[in-house]
């Protein structure tokens, strides 16, 4: 999974443990392990949610100031489906 530079430290320190993505289809799967800089991301769950489920609390849990800030980054290409990805960062020594 890729994260914008400003979110990477929060992912590494465990303060960010979820991500909202707008895709045509999921690009990760639950149980999958994906490289991220020195460590890896372990995807715990992926589920489709409604755009209306994206609120200020979820945006802040994802490392953003609010919903508008999150949506500027979450939209990739022509995707229309909204996915909530819950994950854990695995440091290199894990």
pTM reported for the whole predicted model:
0.92
Dihedral class, residue 46 (left if φ above 0, else alpha if ψ from -120 to 50, else beta):
beta
Closest CA to 19 of 89, 78, 93, 80: 89
User: What are the per-10-residue average pLDDT scores of the chain (94 residues)?
Assistant: 92 96 94 94 97 95 94 80 96 84
CATH topology of domain 5-90: 2.30.130
Query: To which residue do tokens 């979110």 refer?
Result: 7
Lay out the sheet containing 33-36: strands in order across: 18-23, 81-90, 39-49, 33-36
Task: Tell me what pLDDT residue 76 has.
Answer: 65
Task: Tell me what pLDDT residue 78 has.
Answer: 77
């Amino acid at each position: 999974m890729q994260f914008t530079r400003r979110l990477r430290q929060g992912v590494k320190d465990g303060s960010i443990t979820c991500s909202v993505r707008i895709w045509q289809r999921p690009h990760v799967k639950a149980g999958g392990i994906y490289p991220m800089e020195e460590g890896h991301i372990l995807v715990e769950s992926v589920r489709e949610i409604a755009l209306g489920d994206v609120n200020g609390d979820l945006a802040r849990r994802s490392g953003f100031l609010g919903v508008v800030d999150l949506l500027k980054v979450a939209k990739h290409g022509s995707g229309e489906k909204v996915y909530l990805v819950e994950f854990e960062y695995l440091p290199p020594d894990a």
